[in-house]
Amino acid sequence: MDTDALTPGLLQELRATRPYPALSLTMPTHRGAPDNAQDAVRLRNLVTEAGNRLDADPRVTREAQKAVKAQLDRALADLDQRRALDSLVILADTDGYQIWQLPRTAPERVVLSDSYLTRNLVAAKAGAHLFWVLSVSAEHAALWSGTNEALRPEDGHGFPLHPPHENFDPERQARSGGAPGIYFSEDTRSFFRTVDGRLRGVLNTDPRPLFLVGLPQALSLLEDVGECARSAACKVPKGTTAETTAPELAGELKAALDDWREQSDAAVQDRLDAARGAKSFTSGLDEVWTAARESRVALVAVEEHFQQTVRVTGNHLEAVDPTDVAPEDAGIRDDIVDELIETVLDNGGEVVFVADDSLAGHGRIAGVLRF
Start-to-end CA distance of the chain, whole Å, equals: 38
SS3 20: coil
Neighbours of 232 (CB within 10 A): 18
Please answer whether residues 340 and 350 qualify as being in contact, where contact means their C-beta atoms are separated by less than 8 angstroms: no
Single pTM value for the model:
0.79
Using alpha carbons only, give the angle 171, 175, 180 rounded to the nearest 5 degrees: 90
Q: What are 23-70's pLDDT values in tens digits?
A: 999 999 999 888 888 999 999 999 999 999 999 999 999 999 999 999
User: According to the model, what pLDDT value does residue 28 have?
Assistant: 94
Compute the distance between CA of residue 223 and CA of residue 210 in angstroms, rounded to an integer.
13
Average pLDDT for the chain:
91
Q: What are 340-360's pLDDT values in tens digits?
A: 999 999 999 999 998 899 999
User: According to the model, what pLDDT value does residue 169 have?
Assistant: 53
Q: Tell me the mean pLDDT per 10 residues along the chain, length 371.
A: 83 91 96 90 95 95 97 96 92 97 91 92 88 96 92 92 70 49 91 97 94 96 96 95 94 95 92 96 96 96 90 88 73 88 92 92 96 90
Local structure of residue 181 (DSSP, 8 states): G
Neighbours of 60 (CB within 10 A): 19
